[in-house]
Amino acid sequence: MTGSSSLSAGLRALRPAAFGADPGGERLARIQGSPHFKDGVFQNPGGTARTRPSGSMLEFAKLYFDKEQRPRRAPRGTIPVHATTVADLARPAASGLRVTWTGHSSVLAEIDGHRVLFDPVWGERCSPFPFAGPKRLHPVPLPLAALGPVDVVVISHDHYDHLDLPTIKALAGTDTLFAVPLGVGAHLEQWGVPADRLRELDWHEETKVGGLTLTATPARHFCGRGLRNTQHTLWASWVVAGEEHRIYHSGDTGYFEGFKDIGADHGPFDLTMIQIGAYSDFWPDIHMTPEEGVRAHLDLQGGGPQGVLLPIHWGTFNLAPHAWAEPGEWTKDAGDEVGQAVALPRPGEPFEPSGKLPADRWWRQVSAPIAQPWRRTVQPRIEAGPEPLNLAGEAVTPEADDLVK
């Protein structure tokens, strides 16, 4: 027994800090009591979503490591990053709403006198290890401290490209609050965030931060940071409503009919931040293509083009087989096709949705040519085969720690 205990302690000591902590105690009891938790896991809206790649690992590897296609997944030169200054962010937003996309899904939203920071990732890699995993394609536009005071940090889920250990540790030293999906608070407490600064919500629950109302809303995705995915932490999209403005952050999600319900309950929105990158026919249920992202925005707005769509989850990390700039190019085309305003800022470029939108295709300066038209040739859906395994004999997911995410 003593030897077994020593071995367990030794294995825990080898566990990377970035793996975080598993929920326990009252937090686990709350998870198990959630109406969205069944058969030992959180359930997706719209039925079961495949969280593992369709087809074999061999098929995926052939596509992912193809010598001709691989160079398309990185820029040919330096991605233009906007030189944001402290002064830029210190000036109040003239309209009361200003947003700054800093890359991937990280966005600073200044809304009705409050400052909300979504999915901040300032680390060099989205990985539990500093020496492996997807590395940034561009530097962060400005230091984290240069953002100034933040009222609340909002986390969509616990994957590495959305919940970043060094960034959370830096923010833990401030007095900001953290709004997170149910179960994710276990990671943050492990990393030094006091429990009294956590607002941990199930879907459809809300919390007040100053004059803002934050509501966790459904998304179609999954969770997990360790080698085993226990599905004990929830994933969410978020609605933030102020006195004058409303915004929406999708987190990671596949397309589902629930966008219409979210729009009916909380919209319309001045701005939606919609995930449109890292899609693949290998995992069609958990990430959206540009066409699906535009459709989701329209659903959220009651069916017609209004407000502004800000594409997120692209341009910063190489996480899928598509060309790195393809999501931006195709989202612009899909928006134009339906008359929807799409904001396409350079990383770090602040803009106000009610003003002149950044809309030039800046990525073309450093991108290989992207196939046109934007609609892809319809391909037969890849049939599900045996689940690909890692070296430990465990099924890998499209967000594995050091392959895709």
Q: Which two tokens stand for residue 118?
A: 């979504």
- As a whole number, mean pLDDT of residues 139-167 equals 96
Which residue's structure tokens are 């109040």? 92
**Please, what sign has the CA dihedral across residues 125, 131, 134, 135?**
positive
Q: Above pLDDT 90, what percent of the chain?
A: 72
Average pLDDT score, the chain: 87
What secondary structure does DSSP assign to 209-243, as a single string?
Answer: ETTEEEEEE--S-----SSS----S---EEEEE-S
pLDDT of residue 385: 35
pLDDT in tens, 265-294: 999 999 999 999 999 988 899 999 999 999
- What is the rounded distance in angstroms from the CA atom of residue 380 to the CA atom of residue 1? 54
Please provide the distance, in angstroms rounded to a whole number, between the alpha carbons at the two ends of the chain.
37
pLDDT, position 229: 55
Give the model's confidence band at 54: pLDDT under 50 very low, under 70 low, under 90 confident, else very high.
low
Chain Cα centroid distance, residue 395: 22
CA distance 379 to 376: 8
pLDDT at 398 over 60: no
Classify 100 as helix, strand or coil: strand
Q: For the chain, what's the residue count?
A: 405
Please name the residues in contact with 126: beta carbons below 8 A apart, sequence gap of 6 or more: 104, 133, 134, 159, 160, 161, 164, 317, 319, 405
Q: How confident is the model at residue 227 (pLDDT cuts 50, 70, 90)?
A: low
| Confidence band of 382 (pLDDT split at 50, 70, 90) | very low
pLDDT computed for residue 47 by the predictor: 82
Instruction: Judge whether residue 95 has pLDDT over 60.
Output: yes
Query: Average pLDDT in the 304-313 region?
Result: 97
For the chain, counts of helices (H) and of strands (E): 9, 15
The DSSP 8-state label assigned to residue 72 in this structure reads G
- Residue 397: pLDDT over 90: no
In angstroms, the Cα distances linking 197 to 40, 81, 107, 206, 371 are 28, 32, 20, 15, 47
Residues whose CB is less than 8 angstroms from the CB of residue 48 and which lie 6 or more positions away in sequence, other chains included: none
Cα dihedral value 220, 282, 378, 312, nearest 10:
50
3-state secondary structure 364-388: HHCCCCCCCCCCCCCCCCCCCCCCC
* Residues 365-385, mean pLDDT to the nearest whole number: 60
Average pLDDT over residues 18-25: 92
Nearest to 214 by CA among 181, 257, 255, 174: 181
Contacts of 150 (CB under 8 A, 6+ apart): 108, 115, 116, 117, 171, 174, 176
- Token pair, residue 10, equals 């030794």
The answer, yes or no, to whether residue 367 has pLDDT greater than 80, is yes
Q: Reply yes or no on whether the pLDDT at 262 is more than 90.
A: yes
**pLDDT band, very low/low/confident/very high, at 368 (cuts 50, 70, 90):** confident
Calculate the CA 305 to chain-centre distance.
Answer: 23
For residue 232, what pLDDT is reported?
Answer: 85
Contact 82, 345 (CB under 8 A): yes
Q: Map residue 42 onto helix, strand or coil.
A: strand
Mean pLDDT confidence for 149-167: 97
Which residue did the predictor score with more confidence, 61 or 40?
40
pTM across the whole model: 0.88
Beta bridge partners of 301: none
CA distances (Å), 396 to each of 65, 392, 401, in order? 17, 10, 9
Other residues' Cβ atoms within 10 Å of the Cβ of residue 106: 24
* Residue 359 per-residue DSSP state: -
In angstroms, the CA 309 to CA 296 distance is 10
What pLDDT sits at residue 161?
97
389: three-class secondary structure by DSSP: strand
Integer Cα distance of 157 and 155 in angstroms: 6
Looking at mean pLDDT, say which of 129-133, 210-214, 380-384 comes out highest: 210-214
The arithmetic mean of pLDDT across residues 93-121, rounded, is 97
> What is the rounded radius of gyration, in angstroms, for the C-alpha atoms of the chain?
20
Residue of 41 and 13 predicted with greater confidence = 41
| 53 pLDDT tier (thresholds 50, 70, 90) | low
Residue with tokens 């929830």: 234
